[in-house]
């Protein structure tokens, strides 16, 4: 079953260790900016077998705005109708808009924590 998760709810789950977050954007998008603790799994490669371990945790899919991650949720639900999977409403954009930090990797390759919606944090 596909369910929706707000940025606030996802933050709560991640802080409590209750969720596995899968970022379905392309690798270059993930490298530029991602939510700490997320796992990169581009949409084209999403299958139940490719998922990271999530036993006992909520499985949350995420992209830039929520559309590709919803597609990933639908792919997984079709493959396994008994799977509960969450879509981050509004994607990483809603995460940043809520004021939550992301990890960015500038051109020099040194990862840093970025302020929400800062220039170059998209």
Mean pLDDT, consecutive 10-residue stretches, the chain (122 aa), reads 98 97 97 96 97 96 98 97 97 97 77 54 43
Count Cα neighbours of 24 within 13 Å in the Cβ-side half-sphere.
28
> What is the pTM assigned to this prediction?
0.87
| Residue 23 near residue 35 (C-beta atoms within 8 A) | yes
Count Cα neighbours of 97 within 13 Å in the Cβ-side half-sphere.
11
Active site members: 63
Q: Is 37 left (phi over 0), alpha (psi -120 to 50) or beta?
A: left
Predicted local confidence at residue 33, as pLDDT: 95
Predicted local confidence at residue 6, as pLDDT: 98
3-state secondary structure of 75: helix
Predicted local confidence at residue 106, as pLDDT: 72
| Residue 28 near residue 42 (C-beta atoms within 8 A) | no
Domains and CATH numbers, the chain: 2-114 (3.40.250.10)
């Amino acid at each position: 079953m596909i369910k929706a998760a707000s940025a606030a709810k996802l933050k709560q789950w991640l802080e409590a260790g209750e969720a596995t977050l899968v970022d379905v954007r392309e690798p270059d998008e993930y490298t530029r900016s991602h939510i700490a603790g997320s796992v990169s799994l581009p949409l084209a490669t999403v299958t139940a077998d490719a998922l990271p371990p999530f036993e006992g945790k909520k499985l949350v899919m995420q992209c830039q705005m929520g559309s590709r991650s919803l597609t990933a949720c639908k792919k997984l639900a079709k493959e396994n109708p008994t799977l509960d999977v969450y879509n981050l409403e509004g994607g990483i954009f809603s995460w940043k808009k809520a004021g939550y930090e992301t990890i960015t990797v500038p051109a020099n390759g040194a990862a840093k924590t970025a302020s929400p919606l800062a220039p170059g944090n998209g």
